[in-house]
Structure 1
């Protein structure tokens, strides 16, 4: 009796927590699954030929995804993992299976109906942000959610959402239309339809299946068009009705200007909206224009930080100059897109705001910015306010790396050692040595040169300033 009580207690405790699978556990689960389910037995697991091709195509794409599924067993994660030869060969970064309303609230920070379009869209957005945290800059990412109702009678429905596509989120409602099927049969049908929705969203439809009218969103499909499946899509013979909705995405920079998103990340053709990444290296600036000094400084800082992932950061707001116009912001962003360099455009002009958006990160500064950062006059002439702002930065785990510049009046190269950093804040600053970085260029001079349309005048050979 005591053993039975302990078992029930343990089972109840497990049921109160979301079932979390991270990369390390995914590796062991995938390895174990392959050992007991070879390719020859794939059909016995419910993975038919069409689904197997879809899984292979999704895993072979360059997109990486995080998948959150509520409401009971779902076979899609197992299929995506069991056919991969290793973690590097699967599109899956992480799978989370929240099984309680509390888990859903913890993830979304909202109280949402358990099985609904709103829950699916919100959960997919949360999964997308998680994917941004797990993936490298420039990696195409999406968040995927599957919302089912575990208490629903047979003939239940599920919502599938994908967030992260440039054209906007999409959501599908799958309604099983034949009563009498077992829960496992229904789950198999929904899982196969999820693969089709996902393949459509990722543009990963296999060539071998194209032209067979198997895709749920054929060419020419109109947003919000109801697509009803009249023929069974699986070997179980269970018909299902599927409706798809494509939600138009607003212009990302206009959404940022309107305050609807926190940041927009550009990396070549990849655009990631409202998914700030923590624990990175950021070089903030106005970049008017972007020049070789900026690029070299970030490269040096990354090398000194142990090859930490790095990006430039452009704020649309400036405490002294106000908001950048959207077209001017586009012009500055285009410099990075053309150079294939990552830049994050944010609405965080002040470093305490940046620390809230990018916790555990290191910000790369020039001498002049570092000097102003520790002057009480920039905090309402209050040393207490300055210290409170630094306490906020410290709490968020943020630090600074400081590059020097040549001062013509002082006729010397000024570094962090020339900044009067309060003793209690010294551990938040790291000096970039003159031998590591010293570049004779500044944005101010480049703008003046462009206006004069004449070469830069001669300056001391060691002159350097990064703006």
Structure 2
């Protein structure tokens, strides 16, 4: 039987025209029963996805994940849910994505902590809640119940900007006196909201809310020196590449981070915040929705791009063009026509150093390249390695 509080929650969400997609793994399925066992769910809930197996989760998120139960995974799932809600024709301002991941008591005792991470993604903010359970004092079904309660509590919290915010019931979570829920919220400036909603393709990462509503002019992005990347994290190798590229081109480097990516999950606001703060205040950072290079060259016409050899090779890899060599050839010709040039650095690739001068580059791109020799630059540090060390 659906509780009165859950019924009131669904009614309030419906009155605010909120549409929800819920994605969970590892636990919390009691939230599904609570939401759907009574009436009213059809006005609010669009979809529930439970990628429980490892391969299912990896398929949903676009590849192998370094950890399956973490705040980052919860946020990735929440963003995936939010994007799915928008894809189902929900206006972005009414879409809510909820992502949950849990590591709970199981048949084989876990060496790590029992924990639950729940993230909520809206157009306006990314919120993550983390709860570490006292280990060994509850049965699996009791931990499942708490995970479900936490999901419902965080879903209720997404309504605080709606017209019925004072009418939502407090959703209880049965915690012991030693347990607390840690909450982190990143509120998005207007410029980020316009980017996520698709109203703009490019914004200045540090623009103020009012300025963010103004469309970036082509004059601001033409003939620039652009260093695209995820910068997760920004490291000394990036710094050295930027410094050398600036000397070669005779102009300052400007960084570009795309919130959408062919190989990686869409970035949430917490991700954006953590990456932008790595850069000095005087450095310009652009946020875009340009997941393909053909989109980047349109946003930065007649610009020079700074690339590592591994990224450079992807420009003529058919797998990034739906396996079509004809699409690849068309894209390469288009890129070569639009850019001023490339400055390409060697990088470690599949266990060995890749010298960009040794690559079989398409001639139309080769004529646009300045290759930096290994004698001038070599560093084998990588963001992947640094993330692995950080997360241990």
- Greater relative CO (CA pairs within 8 A, separation 6+): 2
Normalised to the residue count of structure 2, the TM-score between the two structures is 0.47
Rg larger for:
1
Normalised to the residue count of structure 1, the TM-score between the two structures is 0.40
